[in-house]
Structure 1
Amino acid sequence: MAPYHIRRFQERDHKQAVDLFCRGMQEHIPTTFRHMLTLPRTLLLLSGAPLTVVLVSGSWLLAIVCVFFLLLLLRFLARQPFKEYMTMCLRTDMADITKSYLNARGSCFWVAESGGQVVGTVAALPVKDPPVGRKQLELFRLSVSSQHRGQGIAKALVRTVLQFARDQGYSDVVLETSVMQQGAITLYEGMGFQRTGQFLYPSNINWLMEFSIIHFMYPLPTAQEHGL
């Protein structure tokens, strides 16, 4: 693997950064689908609906067809949270990364570059309404190409945000990630982020999916805590 380096986003990176973001989101769809198949309500649906078909029609073939179409439906539903989120992001901050992250003070967007290609991204924006007495920076858009994982790129990108937050005088770095993103959860907890809350993703199909969002926080030492 070619070595990588982290730098500020440039406009020529836009297409690669967006493609990397979309591929990263789509990777979570199979995990979400498998998660749905383990839920009691899903198992009840997959067993109850075919049984009802057999009792009504007397046909096991129709029951098998029913199961097949239910699995297709569940696979389609597993895509929805990520599709909705990607659509929203591509219409907002990812539509103009320079305007969203580089033109405002106290925010930034970085890329990890290797072999002339963007292989990782991360971004940060100030929290608009932080708790009283806190100045918080929110981490966004952490993504690393599947071909370049295992090289410490994700950790390096997160450390870049943490150092930026220290330099800018923030008191905390916060972020949100879904329960489906186990790799990200392990990364954040391993780097010292603390879970501070969990809530259901606002979706009309969440009664079926139990798709939750976890909130993390990384408190940064202040000058007073260092005795300076």
Structure 2
Amino acid sequence: MPRFETQKSPMAPYHIRQYQDSDQKSVLDLFIRGMEEHIPATFRHLLTLPRTLLLLLGVPLVMVLVSGSWLLAAISIFFVLLLLKLFVRQPWKEYVAKCLHTDMADITKSYMNARGSFWVAESGGEVVGIVGCLPVKDPPLGRKQLELFHLSVSSQHRGQGIAKALVRTVLQFARDQGYSDVVLGTTVLQRGAMALYLSMGFRRTDRYFLSIYWRLVDNPTIQLKHPLPPA
């Protein structure tokens, strides 16, 4: 059986327990908010790319050359920024919609009944953190791997060690179940998550772009692995 841990911090007590069906709304709200937090960071990152700066300079310049109007040039910058903002929102929204219709549609079925697990961190009767895990279907030869999914902590409860405790819970579950590795994928722009995983012993194993969109915004997925000692 997986072990559970109770953690307390000077700011607020919390404990980690397995997911229950009554948690569904709170879990989905936390998941959606966590994903949407990445939209502003993606937009800011996009504005720093040379191709974006070229676009922001090129479009108004073309407008001045074609129309001779600096007003139209200024308006064109506004519309380019608006389009870029819509551009960065779409893939995050699509990812959330996909999850809500697949694994997050029925967490008990997708995780608890599929040889994986899902946990919530609770503080003051409120779900403030989540994480799930599932066996990797086709692991490398000779390895038994568990994949970590959907780590998220409410913005009001960060800095209390909740994310680290949730990751430790997955690692302990993996050890108890005889897995050789815990693996996961995150993106370069999820800097807080990346720093957390690396500090806990995960190591980079691969880097790739999930789609042309992510290549355009220069946000590759980083594959991470945490090897576990033999039982």
TM-score normalised by the chain length of structure 2: 0.94
Question: Aligned letter for 1:62?
Answer: L
Q: Which residue number corresponds to residue 226 of structure 1?
A: none
1:160–1:206 distance in 2 versus 1, CA, 3 Å:
closer
Question: Aligned letter for 1:211?
Answer: N
| CA deviation string 1:142-196 (max 9, x = no partner) | 0000000000000000000000000000000000001110000000001110000
Q: Which residue number corresponds to residue 155 of structure 1?
A: 164
Q: Which residue number corresponds to residue 67 of structure 2?
A: 57
Q: Which residue number corresponds to residue 26 of structure 1?
A: 36
Q: What is the number of equivalent residue pairs in this alignment?
A: 221
Say yes or no: does 1:66 pair with 2:76.
yes
Q: C-alpha separation between the residues in 2 aligned to 1:208 and 1:53?
A: 24
TM-score normalised by the chain length of structure 1: 0.95
| CA deviation string 1:59-85 (max 9, x = no partner) | 000000000000011111111221111
Question: What's the Cα RMSD here?
Answer: 0.9
8 A contact 2:209–2:215 mirrored in 1: no
Question: Aligned letter for 1:172?
Answer: D
Q: Which runs of 5+ in 1 are unaligned?
A: 224-228
Describe the SS at the equivalent of 1:177: strand
Q: C-alpha separation between the residues in 1 aligned to 2:214 and 2:189?
A: 14
8 A contact 1:139–1:174 mirrored in 2: yes
Q: C-alpha separation between the residues in 2 aligned to 1:142 and 1:42?
A: 31
12-21 vs 71-80, which moves further: 71-80
Superposed, which structure 2 residues align to 1:5-24 within 5 Å?
Answer: 5-24=15-34
| CA deviation string 1:6-38 (max 9, x = no partner) | 000000000000000000000001110011001
The CA deviation at 1:207 is 4.9
180-189 vs 80-89, which moves further: 80-89
Q: Which residue number corresponds to residue 119 of structure 2?
A: 110
Say yes or no: does 1:210 pair with 2:223.
no
1:207–1:216 distance in 2 versus 1, CA, 3 Å:
closer
Describe the SS at the equivalent of 1:111: strand
Q: C-alpha separation between the residues in 1 aligned to 2:211 and 2:191?
A: 20
Q: C-alpha separation between the residues in 2 aligned to 1:142 and 1:157?
A: 8
Q: Which runs of 5+ in 2 are unaligned?
A: 1-10
8 A contact 1:193–1:216 mirrored in 2: yes
Q: Which residue number corresponds to residue 8 of structure 2?
A: none
Q: Which residue number corresponds to residue 220 of structure 1?
A: 228
Question: Aligned letter for 1:215?
Answer: Q
